[in-house]
Structure 1
Amino acid sequence: MRGRSAARPAVAGDRRRSFRAAVKSSLPRQGEPDGRDRTRLPELRSALWCAAGLLAVMLLVDLANGTLAHWRALCWTAVALALFAVLYPPRVSAGEHWLASRGLVRTCVVRTDLLVLVRHSDGMSPRLVLRDALGGRVELDPEVLTANPLLWHHLEQGVRLSRARGVLRCGAAPLRELAERIDHDGARAVFEASGLG
């Protein structure tokens, strides 16, 4: 009996690892058309400019005071790199039944057809938290979904499957609010493009 119960978590873990490996290999590369965040580039540029600006100001202040040394320049460079790491926007991409968020250090993947929880967490920057039945967890800015209809479409398809399978029991309210906001923004964009808005 012990051998069987020990084998079950190992099988589930193997399934989870093989799914994550398959998703990571199918993540879109640079320039490939797929469900990915098209608004990330300006955020990445602004993170680079902020870090570079901070480094330049600190080096200029040290230079003006005559206190610039090699070790101080290295310290300021480390501070600028830390700021860039904090401001670095994750690359969000999606495909059939998966959504991934790739940061500087790791990639988080969630199966959208096996979602068990969708939660909206408020704070300094609002986040949408997605958790699947395999233990996958992704946090992302809801603005990414409102600005990228293809990402939202992939997520919505997975959510429908999760509901049909009966695994998604918590999260209807945040998804409904997000869907209404995306519909409202889409309708307003259509009106503005047609000259009616």
Structure 2
Amino acid sequence: MRPRTASVEAAAPPPERVARDRHWSADLRDTIFCAGVLLALLIVLDAARGELTLPRTALWCALAVLLFAVLLPPKVSAGQGWLASRGLLRTKRVRTDRLISVRWIDGVSQRLVLRDLYGTRVEIDPTVLTANPDLWALLEHGAHISCQTGLMTCGATALRQLSRRVDSETAHLLFKISGMR
């Protein structure tokens, strides 16, 4: 009699789908360009006036680094049930399937504030979601789960507004690509 060999392969879980901001690297290039141009202009102006010294050069470099830090956009990524925003110093991750609130913050630039059941708070620029439908789809799926389970106490209106905005941007892009506009 032949011995039975188990050739049962362990079913590996499907790889997690992770979406990232496709435009972040271009924004990073723009940030580096702006800081570099500022530094070059300040050094050229100082050199033209004959006032370029080592301490002034260090000051201009520090100013360029400060501008870079202010302009650097956070890197947004999302997966099944989470959304992360990585800034210059730290990463904040919110559970989208455990959201309790979604709010708009109006001001110089609009922000979408997501807060989960564990107290984590992430602010993101809504244009990142409108420019990256895959990020929006993962956020929307998680938020839908939060609404269904009754965790989300406020934010359904903000999500509907954002959904209309994403749909409008997507339709506009499709018309543009197809040559209908």
Secondary structure at the aligned position of 1:118 is classed as strand
The correspondence for 2:70, drawn from 86, 90, 97, is 86
Q: Distance in 2 between matches of 1:51 and 1:164?
A: 46
The correspondence for 1:52, drawn from 29, 36, 58, is 36
Aligned to 2:140: 156
Matched-pair contact (CA < 8 Å) for 2:18–2:80: no
The yes-or-no answer on 1:74 pairing with 2:52 is no
Matched-pair contact (CA < 8 Å) for 2:96–2:139: yes
The structure number with the bigger radius of gyration is 2
In the TM superposition, 1:113-124 aligns within 5 A as: 113-124=97-108
Aligned to 2:8: none
Question: Percentage identity across aligned positions?
Answer: 51
Aligned to 2:129: 145
Gaps of 5+ in 1: 1-27
Aligned to 1:13: none
Deviations 1:125-181 (A, max 9, x none): 110000001011110000000000110011001001101110101011111111011
Q: In proportion to residue count, which structure has more helix?
A: 1
Aligned to 2:177: 193
Secondary structure at the aligned position of 2:123 is classed as strand
Q: Distance in 1 between matches of 2:89 and 2:169?
A: 33
Provide the alpha-carbon RMSD of the alignment.
1.4
Aligned to 2:155: 171
TM-score (norm 1): 0.81
User: How far did 1:188 drift?
Assistant: 2.2
Q: What amino acid is the match of 1:180?
A: R
Q: Distance in 2 between matches of 1:71 and 1:189?
A: 50
Deviations 1:76-123 (A, max 9, x none): 100000000000011100001000000110101100001011000011
TM-score (norm 2): 0.88
Gaps of 5+ in 2: 1-15
Q: Distance in 2 between matches of 1:93 and 1:190?
A: 24
Q: Distance in 1 between matches of 2:173 and 2:35?
A: 34
Aligned to 2:7: none
